[in-house]
Amino acid sequence: MNEPQKTLSVRLRIWRQPIGNSNGQFVEYGVNDIPVEASFLEMLDILNEQLVESGEDAVAFESDCREGICGTCSLVIDGLPHGEGQCTTCQLQMRNFKDGATITVEPFSTGAFKTIKDLVVDRSPLDRIIESGGYVTVHSGPKPEPNSIPIEEDVVEDALDASACIGCGACVAACPNGSASLFTSAKIGHLALLPQGQTERYGRVRKMVEAMDNEGFGSCRNYAECQASCPKNISIKYIGRMNKDYIHATIHGGDNRGPVKAT
């Protein structure tokens, strides 16, 4: 039953950039005898083992869950964030690459995502966008019975489509403008759909849009590259909804906490 394992070889052009240095360069490496069952990141593991064995500093790249949900992995492969197809880098399989192929690997670097080292970028701007208002203000403690507020099934599904975002930042890396509109609008869209998110809805959109701009992301120009690169298939419809809520927030005042304002 144990057939000889099929293998392949590739040449890698990998972006290497020392820490604290704003310039980097491509370095070429060859990796041989990669089992076809290996994933792309496992191929990089093999490369790093070779580098460590030969006394070189391993290529720094990020990954964690390796099942496409934590959003840590972040490589641009041959010019596309997360490579060909709508998946995360960790879900890329070597069997989809040709034997002998040359593969260029770069970080998710954009104006807002600075490269830290090699293939690692700083995506903390995304956290700060959430920090500015991407939540419902509730403290821990007893809460009302959830079934007392029915929510239509399709509304929940729509909210879940948006909150499926894993915060990997592929949308930013894919956007020719380096815009975080898809990321920001997915969180705004998720909370704006649910009854629990209504109270802070318009204040939230105002704060999050301002935070997004302050972090140095570009503007949306409706290329829809973000949607095409999103491993979780998040639709650009949420960007439209964010814009609409933002217009509402501007007309009706920024921090609109409900229809009747306290005086």
Partner 1 sequence: MMDLDAKIPSGPLEDKWDSHLEHINLVGPRNRPTYDVIVVGTGLAGASAASSLAAQGYRVHVFIYHDSPRRAHSIAAQGGINACKNYRQDGDSVHRLFYDTQKGGDFRAREANVYRLAQTSTEIIDQCVAQGVPFAREYGGMLANRSFGGVLVERTFYCRGQTGQQLLLGAYQSLQKEVDQGRVILYPRSEMLDLVVVDGRARGIIYRDMLTGEIQSSAGEAVVLATGGYGAAYFNSTNAVNSNSTAIWRAHRRGAAFANPSFVQIHPTCIPVSGDHQSKLTLMSESLRNDGRVWVPRKKGETRSPADIPEKERYYYLEERYPTFGNLVPRDVASRAAKVACDDGYGVGSTGYSVYMDFRDAINRQGGDTIKSKYGNLFDMYEEITGESPYQQPFKIYPAVHYCMGGLWVDYNLQTTIPGLYAIGEANFSDHGANRLGASSLMQCLADGYFILPQTIGDGLQPLFRDKVGTDHPAFAQAIADVNGRINKVMSIQGSSTPLSIHKRLGKTLWNHCGMSRNAGNLQGAIDHIDQLTQEFWNNVHVTGSAKDMNQTLERAMRVADFLEVGRLMCRDALERDESCGCHFREEHQTEEGEVQRNDEKFAHAAVWEWRGEETAHRRNTEKIHFEHLQPATRSYK
Partner 2 sequence: MNRLQTFYGTSIGKKIVVAITGVIMYGFVIGHMLGNLKAFGGATALDQYAEMLREIGKAFLGHGTFLWIARIVLIAAVIGHVTTVILLSRINSASQPTRTIRRRNASTLAAKWMAISGTLVLLFIIIHIAQFTLGWITPHASGTTGFETGMVYSNLWGAFNIWYVALFYVAMMAMVCLHVYHGAWSMMQTFGLDAPDRNALIRGSAAAIAISLFIGFSAVPIAMLTNAISKPPAMDELQSADASAIQIEVIR
Q: Based on CB atoms, which residue is closest to partner 2, 38 or 202?
A: 202
Residues 74 and 77: their CA atoms lie apart, in Å, by 10
- Which two three-digit tokens encode residue 94? 């070597």
Applying CB under 8 A, the span of 94-102, 143-151, 196-204, 245-253 interacting with partner 2 comes to: 245-253
Closest to partner 1 by CB, 56 vs 255, is 56
Q: Is 120 near partner 2 (CB under 8 A)? A: no
What order do you get walking across the sheet with 75-77 strand by strand?
Answer: 25-35, 7-16, 102-107, 75-77, 80-81
Q: Does 116 bind partner 2 (CB under 8 A)?
A: no
Cα 234 to Cα 236: distance, rounded to the nearest angstrom: 7
Residue 189 interface partner, choices partner 1, partner 2, none, CB cut-off 5-8 Å depending on type: none
Tell me which residues in 25-64 interact with partner 2 (CB under 8 A): 26
Q: What is the DSSP letter of 20?
A: T
- Selected from 8, 12, 91, 184, the binder of partner 1 by CB under 8 A is 91
In the chain, the N- to C-terminal Cα span, in Å, equals: 79
* Residue 37 binding partner 1, by CB under 8 A: yes
Query: Residues 204 to 263: which contact partner 1 by CB under 8 A?
Result: none
Indicate the burial class of 106 (C-beta count within 10 angstroms; 0-12, 13-18, 19 or more).
buried
- Sort 234 into a burial class: Cβ within 10 Å, 0-12 / 13-18 / 19+: buried
Applying the rule CB under 8 A, the residues between 144 and 183 that interact with partner 2 are: 173-179
The listed partner (partner 2, partner 1, none) that binds 150, CB under 5 to 8 Å by sort, is partner 1
Using the minimum distance from each CB to partner 1, give the nearer residue, 67 or 79.
Answer: 67
Site string for partner 1, 156-195 (x = CB under 8 A): x--xx--xx-xx----------------------xx--x-
Instruction: Kindly state the helix (H) or strand (E) to which residue 124 belongs, with its residue range.
Output: helix 124-131
In the chain, what's the furthest Cα-to-Cα distance?
Answer: 79
Is-contact 130 72, C-beta < 8 A? no
235 binds partner 2 (CB under 8 A): yes
Contact 31, 10 (CB under 8 A): yes
Q: In this complex, which beta carbon is closest to partner 2, that of residue 20 or of residue 55?
A: 20
Contact of residue 246 among partner 2, partner 1, none (CB under 5-8 Å per partner type)? partner 2
What does the binding site for partner 2 look like in residue numbers (CB under 8 A)?
15, 26, 76, 78-80, 104, 106-107, 109-112, 115, 173-179, 209-210, 212-213, 216-225, 227-229, 235-237, 239-247, 250, 253-254
